[in-house]
Amino acid sequence: MIDAAEELIKDEKVQVIIGIETWPETMLVAEIGNQSQVPVLSFASTAIAPSLLQWPFLVHMASNVTQQLRCIASIAHFFQWRRVVAIYEVDKFGGDSGMLASLAKQLHSVGSNIERHLVFPPISSLSNPKERVCEELSRLLDMQSRVFVILQSSLSLATHLFKEAKQMGLMGQDSVWIVTDTISSQLDILDTSLISSMEGVIGIKTWFSEDNNSFIKFRRLFKEKFQFKYPEEDNPEPGIHALRAYDGISAITKAVNGLVGHPPIFTIVNVIGKKYKEVGFWSSKVGFSKDLDHIEESGEGNSIEAFENLVTWPGNLRRAPKGWAMPSESKRMKIGVPGRTAFGKFVKVKSKMSHPQVFALMCSMSRFAESRLTMLVTARPEGEKAWMFLKPFTKELWAATGGILAYTIFIVWLLERKANPEFQGRSWRHQLGTSFWFTYSSLFFAQRETIHSKYARAVLLVWFFVALALNSSYTANLSSILTVSKLEPNVTDVGWLKRHNAKIGCDGDSFVWKYLIDVLKFNEANMVNITIEDDYPGNLSSGNIAAALVELPLRESFSNGELQGLHRH
């Protein structure tokens, strides 16, 4: 690639290089372009923002993949898919263009994470691609997560992925498959056998306007030349790569805005049968919208609920999938869920009453957590601040510090009063005052008097060392006190609550109530039944209860704003 770029610039005298499709190649050619001052237009998709300072002659024609990953994170956030499996094929340089790290960052911002990622080498380097794909996908059967995101993949790998995943049952109900522009932009040219195995897949596809005159003219010319050169092809429509190439030429010759435009708008597509349909749009500015005209006119989007019912998910599922399933090779467990709970957003139970004796329970959370008792208490009120500056040292240390200071003052006065005129005065009180001021101000190097005695200098050297150690220790201790005092709980442990007969709050429908009475031997008269989650912070702040005892997973359902001024332990 470097040799070809240098040959084009030196021998062919080209003034612009267009068409690099991978980010590692783009970086290499951009360096050549910098040295020769030749613009480089790249179509490489990457989550790494190109630096104008590092590559001033690089023009990045493709939209930043980070926006696509933000769209995926928004979808995961709406449907509350907390764990995601990322799948990608590395390029021939062994990289992913920063996509995995960027997806992890976007998911983390909405409370989700990447549970596992599958990495495939370039499909051309595999002697038996089907066997390798089956081997990697089989590792997912023991996992609960059924939300799969394909970051980048060639069509060859995508063919094996979807066919094998369908045979293994990874594309059944409650599974979710999301693909980025690397696949969705080529849905129009996919083989019917491949697209039929992708039924229910959600794709993020870069949107471009088809109504402006530039596109209409380009589309007509493209179809004429394409059909003339490839008469056997059924679909002569230009894809996103052709549009970006046209954008690059237009930018050079006419310096006009491209057809794709910025900031990017993405089309959400849904594969159904042997075709796909558009179900909505997403923009970084307004989020989701069912109507593109609504975005352009009002600049406001809608919730994803606007087109949620338009999506057909894997397994011909019409409702939103859970995004998780019991591992295929694990023993199924029966899970009991309480019918009533104070924490509605942690677990939600619905019952279908169409049949008198049949109830269907639905749990809206996907992860398991250790269940143990935890306590919410108010933070200890801050004490008197007027004497806060004395707390870093104990009384004994303050007394010792004062003694050392007095000793140093006396020794300096004793050694300097005869030979040094600055320490001589009308009375011994005046002389000691001068010695005191000299010793104290020497801490800040503000003393005016000079020292004549070498013995006095030795005494002051010791004093400086002691004062430096005391000053550093004082600063560290005071900073620690000011910080930790805000974090100290008002109640230390359960034993303190029992000894003081303090009021405690908990959910009366939870097992915690009987556990506190039967096991921890709390007096039931000191227990307050709290049936609404939002009542916990208010009862604690008002002093109606000294502590709230809840299960550990329930504690995590409180937001940081609700726990302001409270302590968890």
User: Do residues 412 and 532 both lie within one domain?
Assistant: no
pLDDT in tens, 98-126: 788 889 999 999 989 999 999 998 888 88
Q: Are residues 196 and 279 in the same domain?
A: yes
pLDDT at 178: 94
CB-based contact 97:91 (threshold 8 Å): yes
Do 420 and 557 reside in the same domain of the chain?
A: no
145/228 same-domain check: no
Contact 567, 546 (CB under 8 A): no
Read off the tokens for 454: 């070498």
Which residues, at least 6 apart from 291, have a Cβ–Cβ distance to it below 8 Å?
281
Confidence at 43, pLDDT banded by 50, 70, 90: low
56 inside domain: yes
Lowest-pLDDT choice from 9-18, 324-333, 548-557? 324-333
Q: Most confidently modeled of 222-236, 345-359, 523-537?
A: 523-537
Residue 359 domain-assigned (yes or no):
no
CA-nearest of 93, 70, 87 to 21 is: 93
Which of 433, 457, 484 delimits the end of a domain?
Answer: 484
Among the residue ranges 137-141, 299-303, 402-406, the one predicted with the least confidence is 299-303
User: In this structure, are 396 and 522 located in the same domain?
Assistant: no
Q: Please answer whether residues 29 and 5 qualify as being in contact, where contact means their C-beta atoms are separated by less than 8 angstroms.
A: yes
Query: Which band of pLDDT confidence, cut at 50, 70 and 90, is reported for residue 556?
Result: low
Q: What does the pLDDT average to over 377-401? A: 75
Determine the average pLDDT of the residues in 279-288. 83
**pLDDT band, residue 360 (cuts 50/70/90):** very low
Q: Taking all residues of the chain, what is their mean pLDDT, rounded to a whole number? A: 75
The per-residue pLDDT for range 299-320, each reduced to its tens digit, is 555 566 666 778 888 888 888 8
**What is the CATH number for 269?**
3.40.50.2300
pLDDT at 358: 40
Is 90:114 a contact under the CB 8 Å cutoff?
no
Residue 358 lies in a domain: no
Co-location of 201 and 75 in the same domain: yes
Q: Are residues 165 and 153 in the same domain?
A: yes
Element (H, E) at 280: strand 275-283
557 by Cβ neighbours in 10 Å (0-12 / 13-18 / 19+) ranks as middle
Q: Which DSSP string do the residues of 483-531 spell out, in sequence order?
A: HHTTT-BS---HHHHHHTT--EEE-TTSHHHHHHHHTS---GGGEEE--
- E strand or H helix at 278: strand 275-283
pLDDT band at 258; cut points 50, 70, 90: very low
Specify if 238 maps to a domain: yes
User: Of 260, 283, 299, which residue is a domain's last?
Assistant: 260
Within this chain, do residues 81 and 187 fall inside the same structural domain, yes or no? yes
Tally of domains in the chain: 5
Q: 298 and 406, same structural domain?
A: no
CB 111 within 8 A of CB 77: yes
Q: Give the pLDDT mean for 513-526.
A: 87
Determine the number of helices (DSSP H) and then strands (DSSP E) in the chain: 18, 16
Classify residue 268: in a domain, yes or no.
Answer: yes
Q: Of 166 and 415, which is predicted with more confidence?
A: 166
Q: What is the CATH number of the domain that holds 560?
A: 3.40.190.10
Asked whether 41 and 18 are in contact (CB, 8 A), the reply is yes
pLDDT of residue 415 exceeding 90: no
pLDDT greater at residue 58 or residue 198: 198
Whether 327 is in a domain gets the answer no
**What is the predicted pLDDT for the residue at 245?**
63
Q: Give the pLDDT band of residue 351 (cuts 50, 70, 90).
A: low
Residues 518 and 529 in one domain: yes
Task: Provide the CATH number for the domain around residue 459.
Answer: 1.10.287
Contact predicate 343/533, CB 8 Å: yes
Q: Reduce the DSSP state of residue 60 to 3 states and report it.
A: strand
**Host domain of residue 409:** 388-484
143 Cβ contact partners less than 8 Å away, ≥ 6 residues apart:
85, 115, 116, 327
From 484, 506, 524, the end of a domain falls on: 484
Does some domain include residue 353? no
Give the per-residue pLDDT at 131: 92
Pair (196, 272) in one structural domain: yes
- pLDDT at residue 125, rounded to an integer: 86
Most confident stretch, 10-19, 242-251, 301-310, 497-506: 497-506
pLDDT band at 256 (very low <50, low <70, confident <90, very high): very low
Residue 401 inside a domain? The answer is yes
Would the pLDDT of 431 be above 90? no
pLDDT band at 296 (very low <50, low <70, confident <90, very high): low
Please, are residues 16 and 39 in contact by the beta-carbon 8 Å criterion? yes
Answer yes or no: do 470 and 396 share one domain. Answer: yes
Strand ranges (E), 45-166: 58-60, 83-89, 113-120, 147-152
Give the pLDDT confidence of 455-491 residue by residue, as tens digits: 777 887 888 888 888 888 888 888 877 766 555 556 6
